[in-house]
Structure 1
Amino acid sequence: MKVQFSKELLRRNSLPKAIGSYLLLVPVLMLGAWQMKEPRSAEPRRPNIVIVLTDQWRAQDVGYAGNRQVRTPQLDSLAAESVNFRLAVSNLSVCAPARASLLTGQYPLRHGVFYNDRPLPTEAITLGDVCKAAGYQTGYIGKWHLNGSLDSTFHESRNSPIPAERRQGFDFWKVFECTHDYNRSPYFNEANVRFLWKGYDAFDQTKTAVEYIEQNAANPFLLVVSYGPPHDPYQTAPKEYRQLYADVEIALRPNVPDSLRVEAQRALKGYYAHMTALDRCVGELQAALRKTGVEDNTIFVFTSDHGDMIYSQGEINKQKPWDESIRIPFLLKYPRALGREARTLEAPFGVPDIMPTLLSLAKVEVPASVEGKDFVPYVSGKKKFKPLEGALLLCPVPFHQWNYAAGGKEYRGLRTTRYTYVRDRQGPWLLYDNEKDPYQQRNLCDQPSTLKTQRALDKELQKMLRATNDDFQPGEVYLQRWGYPWHPKDRPY
């Protein structure tokens, strides 16, 4: 069966005319040749896909990763049956860009969401579109953050319903663009009628997800459950979870300055409380898959859009190239194809790699628009990563919490299995040997003993920038290309 998409190419009212030559023109035109075969009745049913997407959950803060203070028993059990992508990386570590990369398999300068609260093109070919065309039921629950606008501010788009034509292939719909008021959290349904989740929103969202699984167990389905926590505010988890950490002396990462210890411990107590609450939700989703008999034939992913510095390096929030900001959890469970034995994959894995990897596992053809890599050969052991291959790190335009006034700057970099190497617009900026210096406390950039390694990493970075058509211009250039205005607080002049 030939799959046809009726998405009109780059409508004037959704993105500026200049995007056409820069973004999706060739991949979209190539879709006419994209063939997808319907499964024959004798073939096994396609696997379900469930993606649990959290907001601002860094990779270091789960029990299975070695954190003995945060309580994540359900995730630890999940990890015992999953492939743990230990070096999963949020390439542009902030909300909307990461979410757009997850859904499109593209890097931010290709899909255009390199600045929060700007719109993912309606014409983008997403995981929802592809799965729907392959016969999947599709559902999305929770935070969206891809319906931005071309206005200079974002408040209206964050509180408005998402039109049906901008839902990117998802039919079942219980979604709000962006809120962090988890105890009075709204959503819109398919008819754009506004409701409130009951109590702490993640619990009610999980209940809805369980019902969706039960109602769709007979057919292949794609379900994204997108939680707002553990993103700050950190002191708003249910009381019973906050009390778990109230009297605990939180151990801090060695790269948190002594002057910030009190603030860091308070933030982490609330952060961990959100995490333990979400851990319960993951357990309920796993139980629903077992109860309905579809667990073995379900690809289950647990991940996040980015991490949080939480005072490491003296920094807060995200967008930054340090591990606390860029590294995210990524567990992949698919018993029918991968078994139930815990495995760890050390190869650096970026958010654009998620879509092609999931489609490959589901035996659904990957569209030509995708830039990410299919990691199934690495999971199976058929391919090996070279030592200097890495995940791309980028910040085309520093904004909002890390705008120019707050010290933000444009950068490009690589996170390999061993090194972190980053350039800013002035030249080499950071180089860490993460094996010898796991908390990134010694910058080796431009030191004679590491110049050979630095040059090799720079060569690899330049190769990746060429492959992704990234010319590393000042942020103003990309805003002009896409017709995006500066947010008033971000303008550098």
Structure 2
Amino acid sequence: MTNVVVFLTDQQRYDTMGLHGNPLDLTPNLDRFAAEGTFCPTAFTNQPVCAPARAMIQTGRYPTETGVYRNGIPLPADAVTLAHRFTGAGYDTAYVGKWHLAGTDDRPVPPESRGGYGHWLAADVVEFLSDAYDSRLYDGDGTLHRLPGYRSDTYVDAAIDYLARPHERPFLLFVSLIEPHHQNTRDDYPAPDGYRERYEGRWVPPDLAALGGSTHQHLGGYWGMVKRVDEGFGRLLDALHSTGLRDDTVVCHATDHGCHFKTRNDEYKRSAHDASIRIPLAFGGPGFAGGGRHDGLVSLVDLAPTLLAAAGLDHADLPGHPVQAGPGPAEVYVQISESQVGRAIRTARWTYAVRAPNADGWADPCAGTYVETELYDLAADPYQLTNLAGYESHRALADTLRARLLARMAAAGEPAATIEPAPARPSGQLRVDSGEPR
């Protein structure tokens, strides 16, 4: 039977990868892993904030289905997770790192709130419990451990320790880092000593160069954190190789959402822009080695079906589409909370987003009325700098995208809603094709 390892980072932009054009050589291990396995260049989160994205990864269901539509809502006790499914198939399960699905903050996560995982060295909201050089996690008995070293390294060390143990049964190992997420207690990106200095004042992605935000304050530290995370990922792959597990283990490298450095709202994510929703994603191991590029759209709702299919386990009840099955839906569906009650679809060419003007992003999971807020043409405007919402030239296109978004909302079990057009704007000489949007 096939082992499965998930390596989840937090708040990692897609263009941190060399394969996505980053010139700083931040991710040589991930780039090599993706090139030798199956790389998903157009991958997205369906909810750009921590807990909802993680609930979706664990259950394979949209946040409004699990009820975890924002941070601070525990995963329901009856939610069926990856751990439950793999345990039922005879697997051992292990979790290391950030959980963020129990609502316990800096207190130990009780066994009934661990999503069915067996081996446990984790904490709920580690950004408030620990710091870059003050790593702390609770074991399965609820005992707090202070782990020496840079925080992401300590999580990788704990995962390697698990891999090095004798295994009589196949296993699912979930390694959940907090890096390169900011340190909430001081709004900083604390790279390892000496790493920030390597990258300050160097390459800036075009969207951040155009829009500013907190980019120049934070980007050097962020790049340094990504570099150290990639070094840890390389050590994890080395451990699989040295223990003889590499050829029998499916490995997934993913993240929960991106980071736009306060350019789209007053913090780092929770928007429909690619900087917030587009993520690095790659698979390796049995069934994925030499798979090349998977050029269809992929999202986090597809992660559970992909891992279950790789292990030969049933996933027919889940809405996602396994990567191994080839191209999936023509658009990715996105739910946005906290900053707004928002919805969006991302196709190969278009981003179409709406917002509920009378809803509270913290209190309301859904709304009855939305208004169009964003429309971007990724072919002409890949960094989403020109908002076309309301342009008369794009009205027919927007109507088609509106119908597709409403269909995705209904398929996710949301109550019936209406979407009002954006205020009309003259478009001059702009014209769009009248055909079906891609």
| Class of the TM-score when normalised by the shorter of the 2 chains | 0.7 to 0.9
Aligned CA distance change for structure 1 residues 235 and 360 (closer, same or farther; 3 Å):
closer
Determine whether 1:241 maps to 2:190: no
C-alpha separation in 1, matches of 2:395 and 2:389: 8
Tell me by how many angstroms 1:424 deviates: 1.7
Residues 53-68 of structure 1: pairs in structure 2 closer than 5 A: 53-68=8-23
Aligned length: 398
- TM-score of the two chains, using structure 2 as the length reference: 0.86
CA contact (8 A) 2:135 2:154 kept: no
Determine whether 1:285 maps to 2:236: yes
Aligned CA distance change for structure 1 residues 422 and 321 (closer, same or farther; 3 Å):
same
C-alpha separation in 2, matches of 1:255 and 1:314: 13
- Listed as ranges, the gaps of 5+ residues in structure 2 are 357-369, 419-438
Aligned CA distance change for structure 1 residues 217 and 81 (closer, same or farther; 3 Å):
farther
Q: Which residue pairs with 2:397 in the alignment?
A: 453
Tell me by how many angstroms 1:142 deviates: 0.4
Q: Deviation per CA, 1:137-162: give whole Å up to 9, x if none.
A: 100000000001xxxxxxxx201111
- Listed as ranges, the gaps of 5+ residues in structure 1 are 1-45, 149-156, 379-383, 403-408, 475-493
Q: In terms of mean alpha carbon deviation, does 296-305 or 441-450 score higher?
A: 441-450
- TM-score of the two chains, using structure 1 as the length reference: 0.77
C-alpha separation in 2, matches of 1:106 and 1:385: 16
Tell me by how many angstroms 1:253 deviates: 1.8
CA contact (8 A) 1:120 1:146 kept: yes
Which amino acid counterpart does residue 201 of structure 1 have in structure 2?
R
Structure 2 residue matching 1:203: 3-state secondary structure: helix
CA contact (8 A) 1:255 1:441 kept: no
CA contact (8 A) 2:84 2:116 kept: yes
Which amino acid counterpart does residue 199 of structure 2 have in structure 1?
Y
C-alpha separation in 2, matches of 1:134 and 1:385: 26
CA contact (8 A) 1:392 1:464 kept: yes
CA contact (8 A) 1:257 1:312 kept: no
Aligned CA distance change for structure 1 residues 129 and 318 (closer, same or farther; 3 Å):
same
Structure 1 residue matching 2:194: 3-state secondary structure: helix
Residues 360-375 of structure 1: pairs in structure 2 closer than 5 A: 360-366=309-315, 368=317, 370-375=318-323
CA contact (8 A) 2:60 2:320 kept: yes
Determine whether 1:294 maps to 2:238: no
C-alpha separation in 2, matches of 1:201 and 1:434: 37
Tell me by how many angstroms 1:216 deviates: 4.3
Determine whether 1:391 maps to 2:335: no
Aligned CA distance change for structure 1 residues 93 and 472 (closer, same or farther; 3 Å):
farther
Structure 2 residue matching 1:340: 3-state secondary structure: coil
Determine whether 1:419 maps to 2:374: no
Q: Which residue pairs with 1:176 in the alignment?
A: 123
Aligned counterpart for 2:146 among listed residues 184, 196, 201:
196
C-alpha separation in 2, matches of 1:465 and 1:441: 26
CA contact (8 A) 1:252 1:264 kept: no
Aligned CA distance change for structure 1 residues 446 and 158 (closer, same or farther; 3 Å):
same
Q: In terms of mean alpha carbon deviation, does 287-296 or 48-57 score higher?
A: 287-296
Tell me by how many angstroms 1:316 deviates: 3.3
C-alpha separation in 2, matches of 1:53 and 1:469: 27
C-alpha separation in 2, matches of 1:472 and 1:70: 47
Structure 1 residue matching 2:8: 3-state secondary structure: strand
Q: Which residue pairs with 1:328 in the alignment?
A: 279
Tell me by how many angstroms 1:314 deviates: 6.6
Determine whether 1:348 maps to 2:297: yes
Residues 41-440 of structure 1: pairs in structure 2 closer than 5 A: 46-69=1-24, 71-148=26-103, 157-180=104-127, 181-233=131-183, 234-246=188-200, 248-254=201-207, 256-257=209-210, 260=212, 263-313=214-264, 316-334=267-285, 336-340=286-290, 343-366=292-315, 368=317, 370-378=318-326, 384-385=327-328, 389-395=330-336, 397-398=337-338, 402=339, 409-425=340-356, 426-440=370-384
C-alpha separation in 2, matches of 1:68 and 1:218: 43
C-alpha separation in 1, matches of 2:177 and 2:145: 17
Aligned CA distance change for structure 1 residues 279 and 172 (closer, same or farther; 3 Å):
same
C-alpha separation in 2, matches of 1:228 and 1:267: 16
